[in-house]
Amino acid sequence: MDSDEKLELIFSNTSEIIAGEEIEKAVKSGKPLKAYAGYEPSGRIHLGHALSVNKLIELQRAGVNVVVLLADLHAHLNSKGSLADIRKTAEYNKECFIALGLDPDKTKFVLGSEIQLDPDYFLNVQRLALTTTLLRARRSMDVVGRVEENPSVARVIYPLMQVMDMVALGVDIAVGGSDQRKIHMLARDNLPRLGLKSPAFLHLPIIHGLDGDEKMSSSKGNLLSVDDPADVIKKKIKNAYCPMNVVEGNPVLELYKYHVFPRTDVVVIKRPEKYGGDLSYNNYINLEEDFLSGAVHPQDLKNTLGRELIRLLEPVRKYFET
């Protein structure tokens, strides 16, 4: 794989790239790169999380070293349970990531508390706190956590720790959803003031919840877990929000766009002959156009999506059965 092919793979399926020129310079010079994504172990791994796992797999294929941070202390700060329970969830998360295709021999899994209790780490958090306004820290967290009327101090410690995770891990690229943008820009703006290097950022789209909510979430129960049984997948997709001729905020179409088509050459929408017979698509755009025109009914989309996701997630189910 030459440098252009590597860059195409690194930048694919992103919603925004910050400091992409830094990544491009490193790849073209042959410099080894390290990327990370952080996960708060707070519930089951769902198809929202799987977007970033897919990107980490693509980065590995491009020769980038990958670190997965299982942020146990962040989950504790965000009131997601006792540390003992959170660490059990972290181990489950790790197994899901491997089942989804991350190479365990090429992936470094780090528990947050392994780096975040170091005295130098805590000193850097304090230094960052001196350069960050209370308002900015609060706004950075409001997007990714609970919005509370009377928030605890934990809400402003959380984003500062997330910024310092990048320093402690020594990464060149941070991968995250677009909801992480304010925290990432805090890193870009304030780390250089402390004489520290900020990584570049690859932002990924946010998958809407199956109920049409703005985000798939364990706490809201509007998710499709990567280890759901086949019959559960079928039932959840059958009941998913998919209004006729509506693309914006449609989780069914998003699952086609970000999970099915990147891993499938041809998608066949199976229909009885009295409704026009089967339709074949080799790209998402044509499917979306037919849905907007009314040529494809939401129920047809759901029936096929259920089958495709059952097939794509079969390796995860088998992994947990063994």
Read out DSSP for 280-312?
A: EESSHHHHHHHHHHTSS-HHHHHHHHHHHHHHH
- Ramachandran angles phi, psi of 7, nearest 5°: -65, -40
What residue spans define the domains of the chain? Answer: 3-204, 230-321
Lowest mean pLDDT across 50-59, 135-144, 154-163, 220-229: 135-144
CATH T-level assignment (fold) for domain 230-321: Tyrosyl-Transfer RNA Synthetase (1.10.240)
For the stretch 82-93, pLDDT in tens is: 999 999 999 999
Please tell me the chain's helix, strand, coil percentages from 3-state DSSP, rounded to the nearest 5: 55, 10, 35
**3-class DSSP state of 235:** helix
Class of the 3-204 domain?
alpha beta
**Residue tagged 């790169």 (tokens):** 33
E strand or H helix at 134:
helix 134-142
Name the residue among 236, 278, 261, 270 with its Cα closest to residue 312. Answer: 261
**3-class DSSP state of 202:** strand
Q: What's the pLDDT score for residue 145?
A: 58
Lowest mean pLDDT across 23-32, 138-147, 224-233, 239-248: 138-147
For the stretch 228-260, pLDDT in tens is: 999 999 999 999 999 999 999 999 999 999 999
Q: What secondary structure does DSSP assign to 238-276, as a single string?
A: HTS---TT--TT-HHHHHIIIIIGGG-S-EEE---GGGT
Query: What confidence tier does 59 reach under pLDDT thresholds 50, 70, 90?
Result: very high
Would the pLDDT of 146 be above 60?
no
pTM, entire model: 0.92
Identity (one letter) of the amino acid at 285?
A: I
